[in-house]
Amino acid sequence: MNKNIKPLRKPDWIRIHLSAANKGSKVKSLLRKGQHTTVCEEAACPNRSECYGCGTATFLIMGDTCTRNCKFCNVKHGKPNPLDPNEPETLAKTIAEMKLKYVVITSVDRDDLSDGGANHYTTCIKAIRKHNPDIKVEILTPDFSGCMDDALDILTKTPADVFNHNLETIPRLFKTITPSCNYELSLKLLQEHKKRLPNVLTKSGLMVGLGETNKEIETVLKDLRAHDVDMLTIGQYLQPSINNLPVERYVTPEEFKQFALLAKKLGFIHVASAPMVRSSYHADRQLD
């Protein structure tokens, strides 16, 4: 990528919201105490101050190093450390201290593990529910390339309340943006989980502003519904660092509204579509 290209100027509707410092500081303190990694920090999410201020965070399990190198993502890549066997229990206790009623757990890709980390996900879910019996758990997983059937066998024995896997982009841009991933494989993962557990909600998310057309987004929404995906998030891609892909366009708030109207028409039961929406942004409100 050409680092000399001048970035597009952010429009007025791209605004980072700052929230109450006291509550945000408490969340940060609890995260440091438990030595937890969050996707909020690792992915340089623009909403992290707001979410911390609301007393929540999206936990990143299985370390801070991904085995893949997606061009939009700020999470570091390389050879991960071995899994921490104490992580599920520590995670569950921190979530209890935060008094969360809904939590989103995601992870780096762990292609080095034979099950892609599926067992670790279920161990975390069990520990979270042991310490937080009334909590709702959403997991945002990788695609489990090469071990999908085994991973689904494991995950469906201890199901989350919401199963989320992000497509991220349109088929034409997959090899540019997520070169180690596969569009059809991601759709299959979502559909296969739904076949095994019809009562568990499935969810996926898209970034826009990376060179796709609105017509291509429409096609992806139709593909997601054809694969029985229930919920959808669409947000504006923002370049997290100079090493990541630049923004190709800023999608207008009106366009986001049109995406939401189309998604509702197609049958998604919950849609969050706005410039600052991210996959787990206000996820606790989607089941209301």
Residue whose C-alpha is closest to residue 102's, from 144, 151, 142, 137: 137
**In this predicted model, what pLDDT tens digit does every residue of 6-22 receive, in sequence order?**
678 888 888 766 555 45
Q: Domain of 161?
A: 21-285
Kindly state whether residue 13 falls inside one of the protein's structural domains: no
Q: Does residue 202 register a pLDDT over 60?
A: yes
pLDDT attached to residue 2: 46
Report how far residue 48's alpha carbon sits from residue 271's, in angstroms, rounded to the nearest whole number.
Answer: 21
What's the pLDDT at 116?
A: 98
Residue 65 lies in a domain: yes
Q: Given pLDDT bands bounded at 50, 70 and 90, which one contains residue 5?
A: low
Contact indicator for 80, 110 with CB cutoff of 8 Å: yes
The residue among 242, 220, 108 whose CA lies nearest residue 174 is 220
Q: Which of 210, 208, 230 shows the shortest CA–CA distance to 218?
A: 208
- Position 7 in a domain: no
Q: Please report, for the domain that includes residue 166, its CATH number.
A: 3.20.20.70
pLDDT, one tens digit per residue, over 238-275 is 988 888 899 999 999 999 999 999 999 999 999 999 99
Q: What pLDDT was estimated at residue 9?
A: 85
CA dist 93 and 91 (Å) reads 6
Number of domains in the chain: 1
State the first-to-last Cα distance of the chain, in angstroms, to the nearest integer: 42
Report the predicted TM-score, pTM, of the whole model to 2 decimal places.
0.90
